[in-house]
Amino acid sequence: MLAKKTRRLLKAALTPVSIIVVPHSGLPSLRFNFSLLFLLVLASAWTGFTLWAGYVSGKQADYYVTKADNHMLRTRMDHMAMKVERGLHYLEMTKRTDAQIRKIIGMGGRPELAGSVGGPDSSDIADFKKLLASRNAAMNDETMNGAVSRMQEESRRRLSSYTEITWYLTNKHNLAKALPSIWPAEGRITSRFGYRVHPLRFSSEYHSGVDIANDAGTPLLATADGVVRHTGWISGYGIAVFIDHGFGYSTLYGHMTESLVREGDAVKRGQRIGLMGTTGTSTGSHVHYEVLEGGVPKNPERYFNAGGTTTFFAGVFEGLTGRGR
């Protein structure tokens, strides 16, 4: 039965099939005879060829697209790598600048920056440039992330360091303004700081300031920026003004004939705060001037030079910051 069906199918497959081509131009008709089996094989072969050609074409297209994508990606990675390299160079320069600034202002280095810990040094940059020079080097995520992480960490350290330097200079600047550094009045010193013979009691006593004599009404000046904490009568000192300058410094001006400020007033260095007089225990027109550091009287002559108006500290500060007079 099976053999009979097979013979029928084979016979049908070998049955001729005629294909007639009839042209409309008057040419004779063309007749082609093919077996059904031949047409089926031909159709199968054409279909297979079409599928293979489509597969090969698609694969070639994917290859060129992938190649183009890789070229673009490599170009972008190279561009990014060059930016990272420039960033590392800039950070290296800022690190050297940071060290130079600290050395100039006498601030000293930060312990955490010793030995270039955490930041790119010359060897880091050299290694990174060597990696860029090798076209076969794999610019993988780990390499780029490592370089970017070093940049971020070093940037954080630089920002922290510059903030510290800013605070340091700000405090120095404020300290320079708070340091008593000019004469409180024109005149001559008639009694110096330290032990002396009292001019009225003729006994040895400790003189906690300096006496500067001049005509009554001579202007008295604040010797530094500060806030008036007291103005009025003080036993022995007569009409007096006490100024708090901050940073532990304060000054006292005694024997005034008149005070020109009130408690709570903010005063600037060189501002008039009163007039010289002879109130309190006094033998003549003068100002008793005291400089206190941490509440302890200090020799006022340490803070001004005879005939000058600035202290060595203010001069040093101006030299460090490049601020000339």
Q: State how far the Cα of 49 lies from the Cα of 68, in Å rounded to an integer.
A: 28
Kindly provide the b/e burial profile for residues 241-263, where b requires at least 16 CB atoms within 10 angstroms of the residue's own CB. bbbbbebebbbbbbbbbebbbee
Q: State how far the Cα of 225 lies from the Cα of 56, in Å rounded to an integer.
A: 87
CA distances from 300 to 118, 191, 285 (A): 48, 12, 19
List domains and CATH numbers for the chain: 1-167 (no CATH), 188-321 (2.70.70.10)
319 burial level (CB within 10 Å; 0-12, 13-18, 19+): exposed
For residue 260, what pLDDT is reported?
97
Q: What are the tens digits of pLDDT across the range 201-240?
A: 556 788 999 999 999 999 999 999 999 999 999 999 999 9
Q: What are the tens digits of pLDDT across the range 132-167?
A: 555 444 556 666 677 777 777 777 777 788 778 888
Are 261 and 273 in contact by the 8 Å Cβ rule? The answer is: yes
For residue 185, what pLDDT is reported?
95
Query: Quick one: average pLDDT of 54-77?
Result: 72
Number of H helices and E strands in the chain, helices first, is: 5, 14
> Is residue 295 predicted with pLDDT exceeding 80?
yes
Are 244 and 157 in contact by the 8 Å Cβ rule? The answer is: no
> Is residue 113 predicted with pLDDT exceeding 60?
no
Pair of tokens at residue 143: 């390499």
Q: State how far the Cα of 253 lies from the Cα of 39, in Å rounded to an integer.
A: 125
Q: What are the tens digits of pLDDT across the range 240-289?
A: 999 999 999 999 999 999 999 999 999 999 999 999 999 998 889 999 99
Question: Using 50, 70 and 90 to split pLDDT, how confident is the model at 114?
Answer: very low
Query: Quick one: average pLDDT of 64-89?
Result: 71
